[in-house]
Structures are given as structure tokens and as C-alpha cells.
Amino acid sequence: MKQTAIAPANIAFIKYWGTVDPSSRVPANNSISMNLSEMYTQTTVEFLPEYTSDKITFLGENEVRQKEKDRIANALHRVRKLAKSTLFAKIITRNTFPKATGISSSASGFASLATAAFGALGYPIGEKELSIFCRTLSGGSCRSIPDGFVEWEKGTGPTDSFAHQLYPSNYWNICDVVAVVSKTIKKVSSTDGHAKAYTSPFYESRMKGMDDKVMRLKDAMQKKDFNGFGSILEAEALNMHAICMTSVPPILYWEPPTVAVMRSVQKWREEKQLACYFTIDAGPTVHVICEKANAQTVAQLLRHLLDIQSVVVNNPAPGAHIVSTHLF
Ligand code: PMV
């Protein structure tokens, strides 16, 4: 009745921004991501008859918002319902990175919680069903289930929108060098951001180009055309943030060091011929994508910039899985 799971955060090369069905988090477009080796959540869940309520502990977190607690309570309720259990659980969870700063902590958090909870109740759930389940808890967490490089299909509705593997983690030696620029929790959650996306006057034009962009990115991945791939993902990040900035009311996730990293990456490309490209999720953190051969150079350059709190080099990683090291 006790299991522990690890689930990776993932970085989106093509972003999920806006839903067609907010309640079940069916996205407006397909998105593509890579799982991160060093940024993950580990969660231990134990169900026992003697527990009289769910008790969750977040290791190393000072601030746990009520909204977060409610989402977890809802997730556990839904796991129990599916597994036909009435037992309460003790849960301990930890992140290897700061949450709510643009490193998809809800993706890794909910993917690890669901994987451990179903495992602890002995409920057999396949990858597709688990991905669909996680999508309803926190959209992007459906992409933390399969291994490696992943596409989340928008599908036609709640029952067929899920993520599947495009390539295993050893397909391509590329890295996400993450520059953490702030540990302050962002003011606007991605859930609220998704709900406002359609208020941007540019939203419709973003959506028109989406299928073509997904196709072009997949083509570059298939050919391992790194510069083609990088140009698409960098332009995509700017496109998504243009929607955020022009939503009503506007959302600006960037901090001054975010812009400094963006400018530096473009300068390194021009002046040093260093093939690296940035992308940014819903937060100030910048993800610099490069080939593994350049990862240490990029990391060193980032460490020399002002106001960078930490730099972490991530390889492509497996999806959510059960491990034998419990947190209690
Ligand atoms: O899964 P959510 O609701 O946290 O939304 C994720 C939104 C972005 O990180 C900005 C883009 C993405 O596809 O991950």
C-alpha cells in the first residue's frame, strides 16, 4: 500500500497555451516537449486503514497555497474513485528545483503523485490512461508520463487527448540548460493564463499557424537539424509570450535577468557561433537548448551573467516511473 514515484518536469518546444475545454484541460493545439533529467518530483504515497484523513508534507517548501492543497485533494479523491478505494493516504513529496517559476512543477508533481497513488492502491493503469488522467489534473503533466521526447495530441475531446512518445530519451543528445533567475512564485498561474489566452487579439493568428509549426518542428527533430529545430522553438516561445503580454489583463512572466539571458543567447549565436536557443514557459526561468557537446560552455557562460541563481544541465529523461527509495 506504499509506493514512490519519480516524474520529470518537461520543457515544451511547442507550447500548450489555451484550452478548448478548461474543465478537463483539453488543449487548443498539439504540443511537443522533452523530459528533464535533473528537475523532477519524487513522491511517496501510503494508503492505510488507520489514516483518518489525507496528510501531505512538502519537503523543503515554505509556502504551500490553499489552491495547491485543493488540487491535490481533488487528485486523491479521483484516484480513489477510479481504484474504488475508501482509504486515506500519507504523502511526502519533494522537488529538486523551485516550484512555480517556469519549470513545470505541476507537471512533475501531479505525474509523480498519480503514478505513486495508483501504484500504492495496486490499480493497473496503462500509459495512455495515466496520461489522460494526469492531463485533467494539470495539462502539461500528461507529457511527463511517456519517456523522452513527447507529443501531446489535442485529440477531439476529453477521452482522446493524451501524450505519447515521439522518440526515446537516447534518440538525440540535446540538453536543456536551465537558468533559474528567481525563486519567487509567479503571480499568475498557468491555469489562469490559459483561461485568458483567447482575449489576446493575436490568439487566432497564433492558432492558425500551429499545425504547420508542429509539423516543421517534428520534421527538424526527425532530421536532427539542430539549427532548424532551435529557430522554431525560440520563435514559438516569443509567440506564446506575445499572447500572454496582450491578454486582458496582460501577463508578463519575464524579469530583467530573463531578458538578459535571451539577449545573451542571441549574442552568443552571432558572435561565438554557439548553437543555442532559448525557450521560456510560464515564469521567469530561461531554458537554453543546445547540443550536449556545447552544454558545459553554455552553462559556464550563463553562470557568469548577473543575477542568475543557479544553472542546471538537463539531458532527455525517462517519464514517470516507480522507484524503490521511499521518502518515509
Ligand atoms: O500545464 P500547465 O497548466 O502548467 O501549462 C503549461 C504552460 C506552459 O508551460 C507555458 C507551456 C507548456 O506547454 O508547458
For 297-315, write each residue's pLDDT tens digit.
999 999 999 889 999 999 9
Which stretches of 121-246 are DSSP H helices?
Answer: 127-137, 190-196, 203-223, 226-245
pLDDT on residue 154: 97
Residues with CB under 6 A from ligand 1: 12, 15-17, 31, 104, 106-107, 138-140, 190-191, 281-282
pLDDT band at 102 (very low <50, low <70, confident <90, very high): confident
In the block, residue with C-alpha cell 556545447: 294
For 9-26, what is the mean pLDDT?
96
Nearest CA among 108, 64, 162, 109 for reference residue 314 = 108
Ligand 1 pocket, mutate which of 281, 285, 287 (most atoms under 8 A from CB):
281
Ligand 1 pocket, mutate which of 14, 101, 190, 196 (most atoms under 8 A from CB):
190
For 269-287, what is the mean pLDDT?
97
pLDDT in tens, 164-191: 999 999 999 999 999 999 888 888 999 9
pLDDT on residue 185: 82
Q: Is the pLDDT of residue 270 over 90?
A: yes
Q: Is the pLDDT of residue 193 over 90?
A: yes
* CA dist., res. 59 & res. 62, Å (int): 9
How many angstroms separate the Cα of 217 from the Cα of each of 13, 110, 230, 301?
A: 8, 27, 9, 27
Higher-pLDDT residue of 21 and 33 is 33
pLDDT band at 98 (very low <50, low <70, confident <90, very high): confident
